[in-house]
Amino acid sequence: MNVELRHLRALVAIGEEGTLTDAARALHLTQPALSRTLAQLEQRLGVRLVERTTRSLHLTEPGRRLWEDAHRLLALLDDALADATGRRAPRPLRLAFAWAALGSHTVPLLRTWRERHPEVPVEIRRADDPAALLRRGEADLAFLRVRPAGDDQRIQHRALTRERRMAAVPLGHALADRTDVALAELRGETVALCATAATTGADLWPAHARPRTVTVPGVDEWLTTIATGAAVGVTAEGTVHQHPHPGVRYLPVRDAEPVTVHLAWPAVEVHPSAAAFREHIAHHLTERNPGAGA
């Protein structure tokens, strides 16, 4: 197909910048030159990668997949060239998560790793879609509370542990002094759903008994909406440890299925310490809860 690195770099820039003008500026090219490069790539692949109108630009589904793979391929190439020239500096192990990392295990897990492997720092990154960072080569490992798609050959994963579902209610709420609640007791409430967390939806309740819902963009908005009394929430137990809030009380939901936490990593690994970190996680969980390890 005679695809060149300049073609891949052009697609990556277009996907990241969102416009041809900004992508051309980032690549130090003129816009016509970038447009020609993109047209060459589409012609050689025989597929449309970018939909362009006078007002908008977005990647097609094939374009999005190639954009993610191009990120990873270019990162691998840059690392290989740095290795060959002896200029590659050790980089942190990049760990991504969407909402609550590994809950109460997060801090002791990272502390013991730091004690045993001081030469390999861990860089933590919160992202709305950690799996996308894995596919693009921008993360080495990720904690997920939604199982990756079974047909995605670019990501491997294994189940780590299961977390209880927790209700989040404002202080002063009629349920706030309870030791636990049932889903039916939340049916008459407005339930806040977070757009960046897929662990809770209206389908957690039976079809004939679903509560009103309101969707908020992120965890801060979710907590504020609940703390001010506008809604309640349901979340995984990791949230209790990662996002305590003085105006929110968490309590177990006794009749809701738990949430499985998965560890995911790229099928083609780059970081030499990723496998050791996976073993560290398994050992940590086994030590603290013999039934929870993967």
Domain 165-252 in CATH 3.40.190.10: yes
Confidence of residue 292 (pLDDT cuts 50, 70, 90): very low
Mean pLDDT of the chain, nearest integer: 89
Tell me: pLDDT of 289 over 80: no
User: Looking at residue 290, what is its pLDDT?
Assistant: 53
CB 67 within 8 A of CB 59: yes
**Amino acid identity of 111?**
R
- Nearest Cα residue to 171 out of 100, 258, 244: 244
Three-class SS state of 85? helix
| Residue 160 in tokens | 């780590």
Express each pLDDT in 114-149 by its tens digit: 999 999 999 999 988 898 888 888 899 999 998 877
Query: Which region among 15-24, 68-77, 199-208 has the lowest average model confidence (pLDDT)?
Result: 68-77
Burial class (CB in 10 A: 0-12, 13-18, 19+), 43: exposed
The residues pairing with 143 across neighbouring beta strands, listed in sequence order, are: 97, 263
The full set of domain ranges for the chain reads 5-85, 93-159+259-288, 165-252
| Residue 67 in tokens | 């954009």
Express each pLDDT in 231-246 by its tens digit: 999 999 999 999 999 9
The CATH code of domain 93-159+259-288 reads 3.40.190.10
The answer to whether domain 93-159+259-288 and domain 165-252 are alike in fold is: yes
Q: Please give the distance of CA 76 from its chain centroid, rounded to a whole number.
A: 21
User: Looking at residue 294, what is its pLDDT?
Assistant: 39
CB 152 within 8 A of CB 122: no
Confidence of residue 75 (pLDDT cuts 50, 70, 90): confident
- Nearest Cα residue to 254 out of 161, 165, 162: 165
Query: Which region among 3-12, 67-76, 168-177, 198-207 has the lowest average model confidence (pLDDT)?
Result: 67-76
CATH for 5-85 (3.30.470.20, 2.40.50.180, 1.10.10.10, 3.40.50.360):
1.10.10.10
Tell me: pLDDT of 216 over 70: yes
